[in-house]
Amino acid sequence: MSTDRDIDGWLSDRGITLTDARVRARAVLEDAGLTRPGKLRMSEPKLHKAAEVLEGRFFPVCADGACLKVAQASGREPLRVEPRSHCARCGGSANHRAEVAFVETCNRLGVRKVVVVGGSPAVREELESKLGHHIDLRMVDGTERRTSDRARSDLEWADLVLVWGATELHHKVSGHYTHGGPAYSRKVVHVVRRGVAALLEEGMTHMERAR
C-alpha cells in the first residue's frame, strides 16, 4: 500500500525552499501531469517520477557566481536552492567550491602540473584526493629536509608552485622555492593565508594575472 507526502515538505528536503524556485518546480511537475494547482500531497510512486523530472530539467545551484556559471552552461535550467548543501556544484562546501574552481581554471589556462609546498598531512591527503585525478600534483612535506636539487627539479617541472607559508613549513624548505631565481619566480606563489580555499584562491588569482 503506497503512502503519500506533503509536496512542499518534499521540495524542501531537496533544497527547493525559495518561493520563486518552488513555484517553478511545481509548474514543471504540473506540466508533467504529476500534480495539479492547489494539490498538497503526492504518492510515493509519483514522487520517484517527480525526482527524475526535476533532475532532468534543473541544475540545483546556490548563490555563488561561479556555481551559477556552471549551471548556466550545463544545458539544464538553473534552479536556486537553499541551503547551499543542495548545490550540484559545490555541495555547500567552501573547500569543494574552491577545488572545483581551481581545476576548472587550470584546465582553461593550460596549467597541468602543480606543486604544493607545506600543509598538514591531512590537508595534503585531501588535496591529493580531490585534485590528483584532474591535474598532476606534487605535495611537498614542509617539515622534511628538501635538497636544493630536488626543489629545482620541482620548479622546472611545475607550471605552478604554491608555497603555503601559513602552515607546517620550515624556512629551509620554503627558501628553496621562493629564492629559486628569476627564471622560476613567475610560477611561484607565496600564500600567507590559512585554509584550502584560501590556498587555491591565491593560485587562481595568480594564474589569471599571468595569463
Predicted confidence (pLDDT) per residue in 6-58, tens digit: 999 999 999 999 999 999 999 999 999 999 999 999 998 999 999 999 999 99
Which pLDDT belongs to residue 20?
A: 97
Q: Which three cell numbers stand for residue 112?
A: 597541468
Helices 196-210, 94-109: crossing angle, 10 deg rounding: 20
Q: What are the residue ranges spanned by the domains of the chain?
A: 4-86, 94-210
CA dist 56 → 11, 60, 95, 210 (Å): 15, 11, 27, 39
Closest CA to 82 of 65, 97, 105, 61: 61
Which pLDDT belongs to residue 94?
A: 87
Amino acid type, 132: G
d(CA 128, CA 149): 24
Q: Which three cell numbers stand for residue 208?
A: 589569471
Predicted confidence (pLDDT) per residue in 156-184, tens digit: 999 999 999 877 788 889 999 988 788 88
Domain 94-210 has CATH 3.40.50: yes
Average pLDDT over residues 107-124: 94
Which pLDDT belongs to residue 166?
A: 73
Predicted confidence (pLDDT) per residue in 200-211, tens digit: 999 999 999 987
- Beta pairing partners, 117: 140, 163
